[in-house]
Chain A
């Protein structure tokens, strides 16, 4: 399962937010898009999941252009997103939120139990909170719920939008550890992050996005040692 974005352009009104970006995510990889605020990272993910319309370019999923497929059908193809700001349903319980993740699955009843167990195994905290309403969870728990909910659809490719946002360092480490674990179970991951340090440590390959354009593409470990990247995104400068 390969996700390939070809020369993507996206507009907000008259402003071009994504200016011809090409990204490839190969089967089994964790690929990360890093960049500053306003670089277009979230717009990229929203466009891939169908929440934003494409101006031009292609989104190839397993070789097929899905850029015209409505958002609610892309999840059926195997593309799930844990959105920016987590996007959980605050008035629903943890269990109801997770069940929503399977909203459109044909075998949702048959798979439900098994997949709930899978999510609870990854995030034992969610099991303790199962009948608590989503709005009362802590930020870290909401992030777990958001990722867990996306996994309920049994995605082939998982899109993660700033999973570390607003979390304490320990929780960030925990979330990233689980992201690696999910990847090891065979889920391909496209990760958008401002926390470049963590993202680059976990990812196989990375793209650096600046005001709507890819300015650098490399193995994640190489970028981790790249002086320019360190100066711009890791806050430590060259050493």
Chain B
């Protein structure tokens, strides 16, 4: 039962980290919005989903990568990766800002209760995914291969595949950039200030609506990047792709302690690893069961998530 895990431990670990980073990026969307609004943005999974389609449209339709039988020549490959990554981030970012404008802002201005916002979140989420279901006829959309999944090199029997390496490096860089941005930039500080004390932030001259829009934009950019890496690796998408991934990323955010950026990092990576290890031991079909059992256990033992105390402190 454990033989696969032992034999392929390092390979599994590597793909677990890559998957984990995809979760990290999506869970940033949940966690940042929660930080400033104390609200779960259920539409984040659809924001991600739009990114996966953006990637395919740019690669397949704009750049004409339709062959899919072999890897692209290097210059075209670099162009494709750059444009798809930026395009996917941009589309998801804009969808996120749009969601905030139409589904949340007016409710917030009227001071409605959290339940109304929650229902609005679920509503806009359904609108977005059903919209995509209609234009794709409920069918999965393939992304013709742009990157051959060959091994770059091997260390300790673990093959470092091109897509895995790309995902890990780019996602890690994005995470560090975001973390620094939130810590040191003027806007990043405003985001933190609002998440700690909304009224005091206004007294400092922080325009709440601007900060909230920016937070949705940043969360969307991260989910869009995740969408690109996901599409690069799995090479297809569907109108409901966000559901499972979004739920897993949300779980990661909660495990890490929602509202906490570094919590999202550790939550996402641990979830990615656990998922991969559990699949190899119990079989893929038990993947989700394991993930959610872990979520329940974490919530029972540490209701605020692993970094929950830090979150409490930053909010006090």
Task: Give the interface of A toward B (CB within 8 A).
Answer: 49-51, 70-73, 75-76, 80-81, 83, 87-92, 96, 99-101, 103-105, 135, 149-150, 153
Contact between A72 and B202, CB atoms less than 8 A apart: yes
Contact between A90 and B203, CB atoms less than 8 A apart: no
Given A92-B192, A96-B189, A103-B190; A72-B199 close (CB under 8 Å): no
How distant is the Cα of A101 from the Cα of B201 in the complex, in angstroms? 9
> Could you say which residues of chain B place their CB within 8 Å of the CB of A80?
203
23 contacts between A and B (CB under 8 A): A49-B203, A51-B202, A51-B203, A70-B207, A72-B203, A72-B205, A72-B206, A73-B205, A75-B204, A75-B205, A76-B205, A88-B200, A89-B200, A90-B313, A92-B189, A96-B189, A99-B189, A100-B201, A100-B204, A101-B204, A103-B190, A104-B205, A153-B204
Q: Is B115 an interface residue (CB 8 A)?
A: no
Contact between B193 and A92, CB atoms less than 8 A apart: yes
> Could you say which residues of chain A place their CB within 8 Å of the CB of B200?
83, 87-89
How distant is the Cα of A95 from the Cα of B205 in the complex, in angstroms? 17
User: Which of B192, B197, B207, B313 lies in contact with A72, CB distance below 8 A?
Assistant: B207
> Could you say which residues of chain A place their CB within 8 Å of the CB of B203?
49, 51, 71-72, 75, 80-81, 83, 87, 150
> Could you say which residues of chain A place their CB within 8 Å of the CB of B5?
none
> Could you say which residues of chain A place their CB within 8 Å of the CB of B316?
90, 135
A to B contact number (C-beta, < 8 Å): 75
Q: Closest CB of chain A to B215's CB: distance in Å?
A: 16
Task: Give the interface of B toward A (CB within 8 A).
Answer: 186, 189-190, 192-193, 196-197, 199-208, 313-316
How distant is the Cα of A188 from the Cα of B189 in the complex, in angstroms? 29
Contact between A91 and B205, CB atoms less than 8 A apart: no
User: Which of A83, A90, A149 lies in contact with B196, CB distance below 8 A?
Assistant: A90
User: Which of A81, A99, A105, A135 lies in contact with B313, CB distance below 8 A?
Assistant: A135
Contact between B196 and A92, CB atoms less than 8 A apart: yes
Q: Closest CB of chain B to A4's CB: distance in Å?
A: 21
Q: Closest CB of chain B to A120's CB: distance in Å?
A: 19
Contact between A72 and B208, CB atoms less than 8 A apart: yes
The 10 closest A-B pairs by CB, nearest first: A104-B205, A91-B314, A87-B200, A71-B202, A75-B205, A90-B316, A103-B204, A89-B196, A103-B205, A100-B204
Q: Closest CB of chain A to B205's CB: distance in Å?
A: 3
B interface, by DSSP: helix, strand, loop or mixed? helix
Q: Closest CB of chain B to A187's CB: distance in Å?
A: 16
Q: Closest CB of chain A to B200's CB: distance in Å?
A: 4
Given A87-B200, A91-B314, A135-B313; A100-B189 close (CB under 8 Å): yes
How distant is the Cα of A91 from the Cα of B35 in the complex, in angstroms? 13
> Could you say which residues of chain A place their CB within 8 Å of the CB of B313?
90-91, 135
| Other contacts beyond A72-B208, A87-B197, A89-B200: 11, CB < 8 A | A72-B204, A72-B205, A73-B205, A90-B315, A91-B313, A92-B189, A96-B189, A101-B204, A103-B186, A150-B203, A153-B204
Q: Closest CB of chain B to A143's CB: distance in Å?
A: 13
Contact between A51 and B193, CB atoms less than 8 A apart: no
Contact between A83 and B204, CB atoms less than 8 A apart: no
How distant is the Cα of A99 from the Cα of B207 in the complex, in angstroms? 16
> Could you say which residues of chain B place their CB within 8 Å of the CB of A135?
313-314, 316
Q: In this complex, which of A70, A88, A103 has the most chain B Cβ atoms within 10 angstroms of its Cβ? A: A103
> Could you say which residues of chain B place their CB within 8 Å of the CB of A105?
205
> Could you say which residues of chain B place their CB within 8 Å of the CB of A75?
203-205
> Could you say which residues of chain A place their CB within 8 Å of the CB of B189?
92, 96, 99-100, 103
**Chain B residue with Cβ nearest A150:** B203
How distant is the Cα of A49 from the Cα of B190 in the complex, in angstroms? 19
> Could you say which residues of chain A place their CB within 8 Å of the CB of B193?
89, 92, 100, 103
How distant is the Cα of A183 from the Cα of B197 in the complex, in angstroms? 27
How distant is the Cα of A150 from the Cα of B202 in the complex, in angstroms? 12
Contact between A50 and B314, CB atoms less than 8 A apart: no
How distant is the Cα of A75 from the Cα of B193 in the complex, in angstroms? 16
How distant is the Cα of A122 from the Cα of B204 in the complex, in angstroms? 20
Q: Closest CB of chain A to B141's CB: distance in Å?
A: 42
Q: Closest CB of chain A to B190's CB: distance in Å?
A: 7
Q: Closest CB of chain A to B101's CB: distance in Å?
A: 18
How distant is the Cα of A49 from the Cα of B315 in the complex, in angstroms? 22
Q: Closest CB of chain A to B162's CB: distance in Å?
A: 39
User: Which of B186, B201, B202 lies in contact with A50, CB distance below 8 A?
Assistant: B202
**Chain B residue with Cβ nearest A88:** B200
**Chain A residue with Cβ nearest B211:** A72
